[in-house]
Amino acid sequence: MIAILVFPDFQLLDAAGPISVFEVAGRFARTSAPIKVVSATPGEVRSSSGVALVARGLKSAAGATTLIVAGGEGVKTAANCRHTKALLRAAAKRGCRVASVCSGAYVLAEAGLLEGRRATTHWGRTRDFLATYPGVKLEADRIFVRDDNIWTSAGISAGIDLALAMVAADYGDDVARATARQLVVHDRRSGGQSQFSSLLELKVPEGRFAPLLAWAREHLDQPLTVERMAEQAGMSARHFARAFQGETGVTPSKAIERLRIDVARHRVQSGNEALEVVARAIGFGDPERMRRAFIRSFGQPPQALRRAARAA
């Protein structure tokens, strides 16, 4: 049995996306598991859009083999519900596959299920999540993360990616691919959250490293080592590297790469410069290095992004 846990002001797609995946997959697998919507407040549970789902009480999830927690505007209140946390702890202890979509990771974290584990959440929650749960090994750019029987996924539509991965694990890749085709989505989305997140807010950073990143953005054609950035920030290299990753969720070198990718993407898509010229101008040095960086972030080389921009 698959249980989808919702709460007042949940994000509708966080629940509806996985529900649709499991429903369609069940048709292809010819052995569908029952799907139940549960909540600490049973009955009609209103989503942030105003559309409500009818939920059963938490006891209905007692025998679930998969328990997925939605995210949404009401997540902080849900994360403090002792009955919800008790359900999650009991489910994880008995080996149930426990998962979250988007900010639903806060509920898992409050239940203690993410301490010391790898996890992800919506890119917009990265800074707050890191500050609130320093014991979680947050992988901010991942679409979804599996750590043993605990799964977490990125923002909203990433719940579909997570559910498809579960379908592949349960029924095989063929069923997952057929399900994705029926839903007209990718069965394995390429690239990370950075392609959707304005590079994890590094374009318009906030916090104590905002001036440093603004400076770095104006000097991308130069070598921007950890040592040079630390000097610009007035810190030792070791302390700077640790503090920077703790606040932003990425290493300094990864932040610089993302800033370079962001500038390169704009120039590739909006201009006619040779890729070699773009690569040199923003510090990649050569087009092959830039190509590899594009594939890591977008799942496509620069030429593909340029062709798509021209065809749009």
Residues with active-site annotation: 102
Sequence-distant (≥ 6) Cβ neighbours of residue 69 within 8 angstroms? 5, 78, 88, 98, 99, 100, 101, 104, 107, 108
Determine how β-strand 66-69 pairs with β-strand 97-100: parallel
CA separation for the pair 298, 195 (Å, rounded): 6
Sequence-distant (≥ 6) Cβ neighbours of residue 248 within 8 angstroms? 126, 127, 200, 202, 205, 207, 209, 255
CA separation for the pair 243, 237 (Å, rounded): 10
CB 65 within 8 A of CB 96: yes
CB 229 within 8 A of CB 240: yes
3-state class percentages of the chain: helix first, strand second, coil last, to nearest 5: 50, 15, 35
CA separation for the pair 162, 145 (Å, rounded): 8
CB 159 within 8 A of CB 4: no
